Amino acid sequence: MAVKVVMPKLGMAMKEGEVSVWNKQVGDAVEKGESIASINSEKIEMEIEAPENGTLLDIIVKEGEGVPPGTAICYIGEEGEALQESENEKPEKEEQSPPQKTENKITRGIKQAAKSRVKISPVARKIAEKAGIPIETLEGTGPGGRIVKEDVLTALSAASEQKPDEDAHEEKEQKQTMTPMRKVIAERMHASLQNSAQLTITMKADVTDLLSLQKQLASAAKERFGTKLTITHFVSRAAVLALQQHPHLNSAYQDERIITYSHVHLGMAVSLDRGLVVPVIRHAEKLSLIELAKQVSESAEKARQGNMASDNLQGSTFSITNLGAYGIEHFTPILNPPETGILGIGASYDTPVYKEEELVRSTILPLSLTFDHRICDGAPAAAFLKTVKEYLEEPAGLIL
Q: How far is CA 282 from CA 49, 285, 343, in A?
A: 31, 8, 17
The set of residues, in sequence order, having a beta carbon less than 8 Å from that of 98 and lying 6+ positions away, is 27, 80
Q: How many other C-beta atoms lie within 10 A of the C-beta of residue 262?
A: 9
What DSSP element (H or E) covers 294? Answer: helix 289-305
CA distance 125 to 108: 17
190 classed as catalytic: no
The set of residues, in sequence order, having a beta carbon less than 8 Å from that of 3 and lying 6+ positions away, is 51, 52, 54, 75, 76, 77
Q: How far is CA 370 from CA 66, 270, 275, 291, 309, in A?
A: 35, 18, 21, 26, 27
CA distance 345 to 222: 23
- Angle (CA) 90-131-174 rounded to 5° is 90
| CB 344 within 8 Å of CB 286 | no
Q: Which of 190, 283, 311, 373 is catalytic?
A: 373
- Angle (CA) 96-98-101 rounded to 5° is 135
373 classed as catalytic: yes
Q: How many other C-beta atoms lie within 10 A of the C-beta of residue 178?
A: 11
Nearest Cα residue to 10 out of 49, 34, 41, 37: 41
What are φ and ψ of residue 147, in 5° steps? Answer: -80, 125
Q: Is the bond leading into 338 cis (omega within 30 degrees of zero)?
A: yes
DSSP 59-110: E-S-TT-EE-TT-EEEEEESTTPPPPTTT-S-GGGTTSPPPP--S-HHHHHH
CA distance 307 to 299: 9
In terms of C-beta density within 10 A (0-12 exposed, 13-18 middle, 19 or more buried), how is residue 263 classed? middle
Supply the residues annotated as catalytic.
Answer: 373, 377
